[in-house]
Amino acid sequence: MRGRRFRASTIADLGADQPRRRVALPLAVGAALALVLAACGGDDNGNGNGDDGGDDNGAATDDNGNGNGDEVDTALPVILGTTDTVTNVDPAGAYDKPSWNVVYNTYQRLLAVPLGETDPQPDAAESCDWEDDTTFVCVVRQGQMFADDTELTAENVVHSIERNLNIQHESNGWALLSGIESVEARDEYTVAFSLESADAVFPYILTTGAAAIVPMSYPADELQPNDQAFGSGPYQIEAFDTTQQIRLGVNENYAGDKQVNNSGVVIQFYQQPSALKQAIEEGEVMIAYRSLAVTDIADLQERGADRGVQVVTGEGTEINYMVLQTGREPLEDLAIRQAIAQVIDRETIAESVYRGTVSPLYGPVPEGVAGHVPSYLDRYGEPDVDEATRLLDDAGIDTPVSFDLWWMPDRYGEEIGDMYGEIQRQLEDTGLFDVNLEQLSWAQYSTTFSDGSMDAFDLGWFPDHPDPSNYITGFYHSDEDTNFLNNGFANDEMDDLINTILTDTDQDARVAAVERASEIVAEEVPVIQLWQRDQIAAIRDGVTGVEETLDPSFIFYYNVVSGVAD
């Protein structure tokens, strides 16, 4: 599609006459309490924290100089508690959801996926067009300002992309941009991306944290310090301490389309889910988001109303899955992998371990994303020990089959250990398997899982963007630089399907390729998907907007939240 404006309505609109080509696309509690008190009432000095002078938290005041009067001129600050860990908020050094969430709220991107939608729309851009098969051109919207009073121009976009690719931070977010051959500013507000090959997914790449736009003052060869980071988004960083809290103030220079319904955000960090639950119950935070234990969620759902707390949920596309090492014994044998798939009972995991806070997942692409099919359920049906026995007998496999199964206690919630205990029980109760559970901390696990030393291992996945390619390419392509699992899986038909998914601009053809890829995964069993999880938050009475931002993008947009804890 040459010279046609990109409306971001469907992938099919991105150039019906583009050829099909292969594309390489790797994939402090006290302070928070003081802020709540500032929001709920003032002291004799006319501010909410007992200090001389005014309240620096941005709380609204009435004629009496406090933050709880009947007439409020501005919104109150939002205090959000979490057990997440933020690493870097320079877009060149972040590739994890907690960090990206801060990035999304402090920087703009050329394109973004609006709340409740799945297709990219202009953000810092006025428009984006496909100029030819491999050239994507965006016109920057004039008047978009950084917090330092400089204007966002095409030069900023070039600087942002080039420094990310130059720094190549170990977090690996830069790999999302690796299909860019060059980027240039044609004039003050026009930027052109030359791609190595046709890429139907590229507009989605521009919506990710990796493509967030930074000011020219950011160094070209190293990261900007976290406490000095700023962008052109709705918020700017006022304080940064990941052991205690991150404080965001409203960026008065923000000129985008998002309406800000509060006067700032405090992200308060907790080490344990139990401490987070206590904080929301006692009004120490207004929102508890990622991650409460399932027992705590159940308790708040049953008795939270008596404590001024309610639990809200939103559609989620986070998944958890078990990777099988197809390149080493014993799981190199297809019959063994299929027998494991035949036995695992996802329904029991979802109900007994997670108390219904997750849904069983029977295919690579979660429900709610284009191309979702329950391929494992279609192929294997309900758990069946007799069928698993037949598979192993027909293949001449001696039982029990012994293998190591790895998981980590500090990454995906405290229920992971219970889940793998349940999986071990399910497999061993058949008499067909002998499972040795092993665990490592994430710091060790993250450098080990892809070295081929683990028979089977657990991982989770949050989407970079809501296109189905995000659940297929990095998991199942045979290229070692693309497949981050490195579990020995290779399939020529899968590679061809991935090529179609990445480059064909006919949406029907892409969805059909995703569905066939899902069938191959169920046939070959390199990965067994276990569950997908809805987003869950606990909020104090009077807090609004949280349900609106709990959508499949997994971006918590702070600007839509308002209210005050009672």
Residues 206 and 319 in one domain: no
The last residue of a domain, from among 167, 191, 211: 211
pLDDT in tens, 376-407: 999 999 999 999 999 999 999 999 999 999 99
Question: If you compute the radius of gyration of the chain from its CA atoms, what whole number of angstroms results?
Answer: 25
DSSP letter at 297 equals H
Whether residue 7 contacts residue 13, with contact meaning beta carbons closer than 8 Å, is answered with yes
| DSSP assignment of 176-200 | GGTTEEEEEEEETTEEEEEESS--T
Whether residue 410 contacts residue 456, with contact meaning beta carbons closer than 8 Å, is answered with no
Whether residue 190 contacts residue 66, with contact meaning beta carbons closer than 8 Å, is answered with no
pLDDT in tens, 202-258: 999 999 999 999 999 999 999 999 999 999 999 999 999 999 999 999 999 999 999
Which residue, among 410, 341, 418, has the nearest Cα to 382 in the 3D structure? 341
Average pLDDT over residues 305-330: 94
Domain that includes residue 478, residue range: 315-534
Residues 202 and 351 in one domain: no
Which residue, among 357, 366, 444, has the nearest Cα to 408 in the 3D structure? 444
CATH number reported for the structural domain that contains residue 435 in this entry:
3.10.105.10
- CA atoms within 13 A of residue 85's CA, in its CB half-sphere: 10
30 domain residue, yes or no? no
d(CA 563, CA 309): 13
The last residue of a domain, from among 184, 211, 238: 211
Which residue, among 304, 322, 296, has the nearest Cα to 407 in the 3D structure? 322
Per mean pLDDT, which range of 47-51, 203-207, 281-285, 539-543 is the poorest?
47-51
Higher pLDDT, 505 or 374: 374
> What does the mean pLDDT of the chain come to?
87
Residue 158, pLDDT > 90, answer yes
d(CA 503, CA 144): 32
CB atoms within 10 A of CB 125: 26
Name the domain count of the chain.
2
pLDDT at site 564: 66
Phi, psi at 419, each rounded to 5°: -65, -45
pLDDT in tens, 468-509: 999 999 999 999 888 999 999 999 999 999 999 999 988 899
- Categorize the per-residue pLDDT at 31 as very low, low, confident or very high, splitting at 50, 70 and 90: very low
Tokens of 198: 């046709």
| DSSP assignment of 503-537 | H---HHHHHHHHHHHHHHHHHH-SEEEEEEEEEEE
The last residue of a domain, from among 211, 232, 261: 211
pLDDT at site 313: 92
454 domain residue, yes or no? yes
pLDDT at site 551: 85
Residue 343, pLDDT > 90, answer yes
Please, is 22 exposed, middle or buried when counting C-beta atoms within 10 Å of its C-beta (0-12, 13-18, 19+)? middle
CATH number reported for the structural domain that contains residue 197 in this entry:
3.90.76.10
Average pLDDT over residues 41-56: 33
d(CA 461, CA 361): 13
d(CA 224, CA 148): 14
Residue 4, pLDDT > 70, answer no
- Categorize the per-residue pLDDT at 279 as very low, low, confident or very high, splitting at 50, 70 and 90: very high
Which residue, among 407, 502, 519, has the nearest Cα to 201 in the 3D structure? 502
Long-range contacts of 418-427 (CB under 8 A, 24+ apart): 418/353, 419/320, 419/349, 419/353, 419/354, 419/530, 420/458, 422/348, 422/349, 422/352, 422/353, 423/322, 423/344, 423/349, 426/343, 426/344, 426/345, 426/348, 426/383, 427/340, 427/343, 427/344
Q: CB-based contacts of 446: which residues, under 8 Å, 6+ apart?
A: none
